[in-house]
Amino acid sequence: MDTTTLITLLKEGNTRAAARLITIVENNIKDSEMIIKSIYKDTGKAYILGITGAPGAGKSTFISTLTKKFVNQGKKVGIICVDPTSPLTGGALLGDRIRMKDNFSLENVFIRSMANRGQLGGLARATEDVIKILDVYGCDIIIVETVGVGQSEIDIFRSAHTVIVLLVPGTGDDIQAIKAGLMEITDIFAVNKMDLPGADRKVADIIQMLELNTNFRYESDNPNARNFKLQEWVPEIIKVNSITGKNFVELSNIIQKHEHFLRKNGVFHSYMINRIKAETMQILKHKIVKKIEGLLNSNKFIEDHESQVLDKSLDPYSMADLIIKMVGLDQKK
């Protein structure tokens, strides 16, 4: 079946077309471009949740329970599980997914695992595209789950409307592991396994961490940093039990509250602008890098200068300047 037919079927909510198109955007940025160009008009309906947490936090059960809640509200849910640490296999994650799948009928929930095929930037880009496909497919909610708490999550969560970080009572290693960049984009902290000893202590630890860090990178010029957050949204903290489902009504209310917050006062709008900038930048980087890689590999000018760098009559920074000059980028303002 050709891509155009698949796109038509996707817009009708065809599950197999969605799956096929996702495989295409994962593997091929050229087709990806064509697909996104043709569906972009129809995107923007889904609400996107980013969920992460340290290994062992119970993410799978948490997401299962949350998804059931959404499905019971009549919503169609897409789940994208991203493993940035795994370039190819992502075995453990896939196992989780299969277990998760058992809980749902296929009509209401679409689950997809993505592992890192190549560069991190590539994975974040592919995730953006998969989100768009699931959006057009008809998902009301798209959950993007990642396995860690590092820099790659921050890139991948760029498009999430609400970011939830899952923690568990215990050692505090998980709080240690929350990096500044991730903390900065977290909207809700959920303490899972709330019936274990130490849940209240964990809540206190989170409060302390937030207090220690409110001024932190406050005026960051990082496009990923949603600066308005720390000014206008104080991250909520909630204890839950994913197995019994305790406090999931409250959690779902907090998510709604955050959505309302985003939509009022133009925050949603400025967030969308940031997202577009970041996404365009991502695509631009890819395109320009490809372009320049082509130049580096084929151009005689470059080859000559490479040997100059090799014999140390030129350094890599000056070589970069020469290339920028060669492509005329030095004259742009």
Which of 1, 208, 289, 301 touches its own copies (CB under 8 A)?
289
41 makes contact with its own copies (CB under 8 A): yes
Q: How far is the CB of 202 from its own copies (least distance, A)?
A: 19
CB nearer to its own copies: pick between 170 and 254: 170
| Residue partners of 29: CB distance under 8 A and separation at least 6 | 122, 125, 286
> C-alpha dihedral over 61, 137, 31, 278, to 10 degrees?
-70
CB 166 within 8 A of CB 57: yes
- Residues between 231 and 260 that touch its own copies (CB under 8 A): none
Q: How far is the CB of 216 from its own copies (least distance, A)?
A: 9
CB nearer to its own copies: pick between 139 and 147: 147
Strand, coil or helix: 293:
helix
Q: How far is CA 193 from CA 55, 188, 241, 309, in A?
A: 14, 16, 5, 57
CB 49 within 8 A of CB 81: no
Nearest residue to 190 (alpha-carbon basis) of 96, 61, 324, 289 = 61
Which of 9, 10, 36, 133 touches its own copies (CB under 8 A)?
36
Measured between alpha carbons, how far is 185 from 7 in angstroms, rounded to an integer? 33
Binding-site residue total for its own copies (CB under 8 A)? 65
- Residues between 152 and 211 that touch its own copies (CB under 8 A): 152, 176, 179-181
Which of 196, 204, 207, 281 touches its own copies (CB under 8 A)?
281
Residue with tokens 């925050």, as numbered in its chain: 267
Please give the angle made by the CA atoms of 215, 219 and 224, to the nearest 5 degrees: 110
Which of 44, 55, 56, 266 touches its own copies (CB under 8 A)?
44
Which of 16, 264, 287, 325 touches its own copies (CB under 8 A)?
287
From 18-26, 70-78, 259-267, 321-329, span contacting its own copies (CB under 8 A):
321-329
119 makes contact with its own copies (CB under 8 A): yes
315 makes contact with its own copies (CB under 8 A): yes
From 2-10, 61-69, 242-250, 317-325, span contacting its own copies (CB under 8 A):
317-325
Which of 3, 151, 227, 252 touches its own copies (CB under 8 A)?
151
Q: How far is the CB of 297 from its own copies (least distance, A)?
A: 8
Which of 231, 263, 276, 304 touches its own copies (CB under 8 A)?
276
Rounded to a whole number, what is the largest CA-CA distance in the chain? 68
28 makes contact with its own copies (CB under 8 A): no
Which of 78, 84, 170, 235 touches its own copies (CB under 8 A)?
84
Q: How far is CA 66 from CA 97, 242, 283, in A?
A: 15, 8, 32
Measured between alpha carbons, how far is 274 from 26 in angstroms, rounded to an integer? 24
* DSSP structure string for 21-87: HHHHHHH-HHHHHHHHHHHGGG---SEEEEEEE-TTS-HHHHHHHHHHHHHHTT--EEEEEEETT-S
User: Which residues of this chain interact with its own copies, rule CB under 8 A?
Assistant: 33, 36-37, 40-41, 43-44, 84-89, 91, 116, 118-120, 148, 150-152, 176, 179-181, 222-223, 269, 272-273, 276-277, 279-281, 283-285, 287-289, 291-293, 295-296, 306, 309-310, 312, 315-321, 323-324, 326-329, 332
